[in-house]
Structure 1
């Protein structure tokens, strides 16, 4: 009787209940032109990444791809391990996190998607794919067709002149009403108790959070960037939030609601860092990671040569370690 060989990685868990779907327009998006699924699709990945990749590959398009939703369905790993696996899968070329501008005119909004490829792709392929998707999603406004010459055109009736009416003035906003930045900071403790801030803390950090909103991000995006990948314990919530507000502030991006007067292209697709969510163009996020998140993990072991290190190499490695500690 033949015996089964043990798998080098845990098998993909079976869903005991329906997997949560993201809001319409969000979630997982499979890239086109993928080969059929095979048992050895992710055989070259480490056990944890192979386990997470196999699970994501079986999810339908539109499934929620945030770390919390994935960790709830993966019994072997917690949120921190799932976040690290997603970062590794991004570096390996299997996924990219992207924000897309949908809608037309003034009715536009950003939606957040995770593009997934069963085959590992390089940075050039992902850049070309996202650029092609941007061209396909750009709205095309067609000019109204002129009526045929044989159809008589009726002149609209003249509108009688009406005296200009006075419009009611908007109600004044209370001077002490909290700003959106202050409210977003005040809600952090309800999103995650580890980041509970006092009223004084919110007042101190309000200007920094307002700078994020001034750069075009929403309060939901601000909350997600501040609460993603938290350590098990946060000793000083106000210090931790201040550091993230300073280190991970997004770049200034001109709102792409109305095409520029010069006729230049409107960027309707923008990649995000897989780990921290900072937006940017594909060339600024190699392997789907920003510069800070792409640094080597300082907790990873360093292989030392048997013969020892020269003095110059010792100084170089010490400088590298100091740079990693400053970036944390």
Structure 2
């Protein structure tokens, strides 16, 4: 019992030793080799369903991992993320919409004690899990192979529902519906003159004139929205007794040789800047000042003539007066 064995190790070797760590084993083939060290502080657990998501872009995956690593109360709006990373506001907004579409982000509006309405950003590290209610512990997702029934998934989160909650950034183009984009485009065009009497026939003639401008210059091919915006201006010209040929010449003459980026804006400017004056005032023909007397028979020649009283006609009175 008191015999010593100098060749025996003084204590059991730890499995975490560098030479015995299973992740440090040498591989004969190519591929990835992990060299992992256990974290004891400043770390976060992120599921592979996010980091290896088959549909999310690399930008969205990176944003999701960054947001899940932030502390509670950190700002994750587009302006703050654009100041933190080199990507622009448009790409950051697209990545956030991807995360919202797949349930990793959720936006909720709440009214604070001061009465203001603020937007809360909720980061979901496990999309589809039940939201915890008051007095109940959060439900845990089932791990495969343990015989536990999985937690039923909630309804998918729509990106359009929370798209307006993202704060717009100066210089970034907002994502809008086609109808809203057309309305914004129409509002951005210069104002055109309006006719005093917008008759349907006059507006139709103006729209036909605008639709035929591309025959004189292919660059003046207008859309339906642009034609509807410019038609009242052309009608105002036609209302001022300007012929369609003169209106067409005013819109198509002396165009620049450079490509026209916005032909509708150029036409709107010409319609407003070169608007001719109203036609001269024409007084209506007033009735004759002479009274229209009834017909009477002349006492001398029995011819009919107009006179306020019976008597002789002009021819019969002249010799008598002479």
TM-score, normalised to structure 1, is 0.24
- Rg comparison, structure with higher value: 2
